[in-house]
Amino acid sequence: MSILTAQVIKLTDEEYKLIRDMVYEYCGIYFQEHKKYIIENRLSRRLKQLNFTSFKDYYYFLKYDRKKDEELVEIMNLLTINETYFFRELGQLKHMISVAIPELVKSKSDRVLRIWSAACSTGEEPYSISILLKDSGVLPAGYRVEIYGTDLSQDAVAKAKAAKYRKISFRSTEPQYMKYFREQDAEFTVNEDVRLPVKIDRGNLLLPADTGRYRNMDIVFCRNVLIYFDKESKRKVIENLANALQPQGYLYIGHSETLFGISDAFRMNNFGEGIVYTKK
Ligand SMILES: C[S@@+](CC[C@H](N)C(=O)[O-])C[C@H]1O[C@@H](n2cnc3c(N)ncnc32)[C@H](O)[C@@H]1O
């Protein structure tokens, strides 16, 4: 037996459907038929840690054990894809600075700008936003900014809170922004003044109880996560985000994502380098 097969516990089709449906109901991520190997590979080691020899026993643990909620959190650490980097899809970030914020500032009644980076993974997105706000000086004097970053993965959230990054996170970073980091032993820590407006928390975009904590948002980023959802989950998530946004608030989603056939709560605007939605 090869080392690889020795490490994997066999997942039957029936067990796959049970676990896949449970994951889908919990967070909206939908694993198609041909993705069975992902669950088999990523969860096998977890089963061994817990001394399970079959996925069926593990499924019953997930369904009925008093520690089932904690275990679902653990599963999400293993099944989510946390790929991200600083200044990803820069065209949208620049649009936020040069168009969205100046427009919002014209009509705002309070002097607080609220931005939510939903599904922020390890935090590069909310810190990129904070850096650009500071660097551009776009906000008039007397304005306060609140930036929220949330993600389902507890591991990703812990990394986002630590705000320490390796070089790989800077693969698309223009050199002038490196002054917002402190380098030590090949690790880059986000400067305190950039971290200060950013508040990171765990949250499930599918759950109104979690998303309901974010209200009166001026701008929401929800990029590169809708691709993992089916139509029904996308609808629920977008409805939750619409409820969080102010009328005329801005929503940025990933380049390969669309709200077509998902929601009519938004107007679509093509700004050349990308698309932005505004709440009706
Ligand atoms: C590929 S990353 C995108 C990170 C960042 N927005 C970007 O564009 O670079 C997708 C993130 O979505 C998170 N995610 C998946 N399902 C989620 C859910 N139901 N609620 C909140 N976050 C979720 C994952 O944990 C993962 O960190």
Q: Examine the domain organization and report whether 171 and 109 are in the same domain.
A: yes
Average predicted confidence (pLDDT) for the chain: 95
Task: Name the percent of the chain lying above pLDDT 90.
Answer: 96
Residue identifier of the C-alpha nearest atom 24 of ligand 1: 80
CB of 93 closer than 6 angstroms to any ligand 1 atom: no
Query: Is residue 3 predicted with pLDDT exceeding 60?
Result: no
C-alpha 106 to ligand 1 mean position (Å): 32
Q: Which of 25, 80, 92, 115 maximizes ligand 1 atoms within 8 Å of its Cβ, making it the mutation to test the pocket?
A: 80
Taking only the tens place, the pLDDT of each residue in 135-152 is: 999 999 999 999 999 999
Q: Examine the domain organization and report whether 164 and 234 are in the same domain.
A: yes
CB of 156 closer than 6 angstroms to any ligand 1 atom: yes
pTM: 0.96
What 3-state class would DSSP assign to 196?
coil
User: Which ligand 1 atom is nearest residue 122's CA?
Assistant: 27
101-131 per-residue burial string, b: 16 or more CB within 10 A, e: under 16: beebeeeeeeeebbbbbbbbbbbbbbbbbbb
Query: Which pLDDT score, from 0 to 100, does residue 6 have?
Result: 55
Q: Examine the domain organization and report whether 42 and 151 are in the same domain.
A: no
Q: Examine the domain organization and report whether 126 and 179 are in the same domain.
A: yes
Residue identifier of the C-alpha nearest atom 7 of ligand 1: 84
- Helix ranges (DSSP H) in 142-217: 154-162, 192-195, 208-211
Residue identifier of the C-alpha nearest atom 2 of ligand 1: 82
Q: Examine the domain organization and report whether 65 and 12 are in the same domain.
A: yes
Which of 50, 79, 108 lies at the terminal end of a domain, its last residue?
Answer: 79
Instruction: Kindly indicate the confidence band of residue 1, based on its pLDDT and cuts at 50, 70 and 90.
Output: very low
Which of 58, 79, 100 lies at the terminal end of a domain, its last residue?
Answer: 79
Domain region containing 50: 3-79
The secondary element (H helix, E strand) that includes residue 124 is helix 124-136
Taking only the tens place, the pLDDT of each residue in 256-271 is: 999 999 999 999 999 9
CB of 195 closer than 6 angstroms to any ligand 1 atom: no
